[in-house]
Chain A
Amino acid sequence: MRRLRVEEKIVVMKLTINGRKVTVEKGATVLDAAESAGVNVPTLCHLKGSAGFTSCGVCVVKEQVSGRLLPSCTAPAAEGMVIETDSEEVKHARRNTLDLLLSEHVGDCEAPCRLTCPAHMNIPKMIRQIAAGRMREAVETVKEHIALPAVLGRICPAPCEKACRRSRYDASLAICLLKRFAADADISSKEEYLPVCRPDSGRKVAVVGAGPAGLSAAYYLALAGHACTVFDDRDEPGGQLRYGVPENILPRSVLESEIETIKKLCVVFRMKTRIGRDLTVAGLKKDFDAIVLAPGKIDTSASTDWGVEVVEQRIKADEHSFLTSDGKIFSGGEAVQPGHLAVRAVGHGRSMAVAIDQYFNGLKVTGSHRLFESRMGKLLEPEIFELMKETDISAGIEPAGGASAGFQIDEAVRESRRCMHCDCRKSDDCRLRDYAGEYAASQKRFHVEGRKSFERIVTHSNVIFEPGKCIKCGICVRITERAHEKLGLTFIGRGFDTTVGVPFNESLGAGLQETAEKCVSHCPTGALAFK
């Protein structure tokens, strides 16, 4: 049989994306055209390789010739289209869409413990790691935000525990003791955790004050590759930690150990050195590229030597960038915000390091990047019980040796299992959160009186499903359908009350037999996550 060869004519179209001309084949969508022009368009409900679903509305772009706003994931590209993907109008439209999605989003990106912690430590992650026995990872998590965890684990008043939702059921998690456990375990381990510093940037920073703020700033600056010299007029570093807190509460050996770690990062200490007597700020400004001013509680006499604005015995510094009236001097800690809260000083230290790093890299000095936070607010009792579904119901664990002795490993693991994990387990991998931050969306744009109830489905061995976070994008429905799952996931109901679920109310495990990993990784929010 003779084989016939058919000549296929490929139709192409020329269109303009953000002023750039592109050529695409007939059948391509506007999104395809944007991609070929190297232009990034946000999407939530789009499943690559699949036809557009046109659900979320985030991929909207403006077509100038017709004046229409088009969903780029589905709109066919046509000859002569002039597409704008990033104009104010388009951004405004995306923001409106995100506002709507967030208005019914039932979930906390971060748990209240983390939001309350002045140092923004990732408490739930640390707890999950302790519960899994991954102690090394736990201390790494802690040290991402807290440079002196063993110290704080003994003296911190733990505002995080006041916010812990577990207290609505019985008693809060002993977060402070858990952190102390992670830090102590590291100190007494054969190989203490020492983070890898970035290569030497060539920049030098003078840190005035070896108290918690200064020590923390030095730690994080060193990690960023900037050489630090810490000046303090006392004999030994530590500030109030050494000279204010009694030894029976904070053993000097613990303090020494953590300061030793900072020294291992090549931070130089010049003790018994006083600004105004031995050195001047002007001199520091000549020899260093930036100054951290963390002298602790100040008296009016010394302040004039620093050359920064002081108001009512407080150094005036911006709350985000920590910049003072002098563009090279950053200030934080007790001198800026009195309160004898070491954990806040430690937080300031890190934030100042971030700000100085931005300053050195020529970026806008805005301080720590604040991500978008979705908040459920106060949970109702049934929701607390919902969270308790997969949580250990044991009462709070008391350390056998008393509070001052800290947790033994088994006690720590048992205590960590009491955490309800009311944070989102995908908060660092959530497109909705990313776009919400990027487009400055607001969860509170609409006065919603009764939000939907928090729900958590735990009937899969390692996936949790929180329907309150679902944006009905249908990605998981399409994935399970394409993979011919026996049950899979499907849309249930209609309209506002539509939910995603397993047919016949079967377990999530029965629904996701082959496609759990794919569904979790493609879910654009934290609705589907690994435990």
Chain B
Amino acid sequence: MHEVHVGEDLRERNREIAGENRELLRKHGVVSLNLMSAPGAGKTSLLLRTIPLLKEKFRICVIEGDIQTRRDAERVGALGIRVYQIQTGGVCHLDAAMVHTVLHQLDLDSIDLLFIENVGNLVCPAEFDLGEDSRVMLLSVSEGDDKPKKYPLMFLESRLLILNKLDLLPHVEFDADKAKAEARDLNPYIEILEISCKTGEGIQNWITWIENFYKNREVS
């Protein structure tokens, strides 16, 4: 028996492909956001709220990542925008190669804004750069206020944290200040919005956030 030094990072290949994706998206002027959260936190509901408010202003495309089914793609596609479903077949996250394949099927010149809805999971998606401009994570108040320190990487890697399901606050023990403080411990630069996809509360702030993000990305 003998030992062989390998010293290889297992994310290296993903990083290379993510870099290609990023270059491709920039070349065609597509601004992209990677939406991440635990299952059921409201990623699809957020898109269903968001798209009608933005689709006159931006040409929108959505990539849906799910382990199984086309349900999310069907719900979002009903809004009359282009939707591509990636079924990962058991894999708990999207990776750059999956997105790369889809990007080559799209007419990128006819897209302004691309939402990538990741597989519901608070761990692995954070490790896989897809080539997006920025990462947005959702945390619903019913998940508990102790999540930031339990899933630190997701909070560290996100530019924006959206606290969703504000309408449930009276019914659950969720200390929003504690959750926000823990998120800021992990990522002092994280931006935070509070919304309810059910009632529409705070949605306008999210729309404004996207518009500003788009404007600043265009300039940079």
Do chains A and B stick together as partners?
A: no
Q: Which A residues lie at the B interface, using CB under 8 A?
A: none
Chain B residues packing against A (C-beta within 8 Å): none
